[in-house]
Amino acid sequence: MYIISACLAGENCKYNGGNNYNESVCQFTKKHNCIMICPETDGGLDTPRPPAEQIRSEERCARKIKVINKEGRDVTEEFYRGAEISLRKAEELAGELGEPVEGAILKANSPSCGAGTVYDGTFSGKLIKGDGIFAGMLKERGIPVETR
């Protein structure tokens, strides 16, 4: 079974109320068992909503990640809660299907789903190395993540 960012499958859950429809991802979902996930809406954030980006800092050798929206509101809790809910949904479906979560195809650069790069928190379009909250949780469990 595979985890797919719902916005890539055409669900209007993107921060601006739209989606990031990707034809190749939709074709992939026709050939594999998949679950469509949006950690941000699972965490209780509205659609549409102000865009949000990660703010990273080093504190006492421990990396701390916060997520702040463009209006300055701290939405870190919603992002972590949504990632945990999304992961639980995926694990439950995998259990029902009797198959493991083989991988994930997630939205690139997202503060939830980005893998390898995310926006830097300045809302200027600049990317930095790092993983989104949900992508990081998947990687910690050994689940391969690719982005589109």
Task: Domain ranges for the chain, please list them.
Answer: 2-147
Which tens digit of pLDDT belongs to each residue from 23-77?
Answer: 999 999 999 999 999 999 999 999 999 999 999 876 554 457 999 999 999 999 9
Instruction: Determine the pLDDT at residue 56.
Output: 83
Closest CA to 1 of 88, 98, 74, 86: 98
Instruction: Determine the pLDDT at residue 61.
Output: 46
Closest CA to 5 of 141, 126, 110: 110
pTM for the full model?
Answer: 0.94
Structure tokens, 74: 């701290």
Which tens digit of pLDDT belongs to each residue from 83-117?
Answer: 999 999 999 999 999 999 999 999 999 999 999 99
Helix (H), strand (E) counts: the chain: 4, 8
Q: Nearest-5° angle of CA 79, CA 21, CA 9?
A: 65
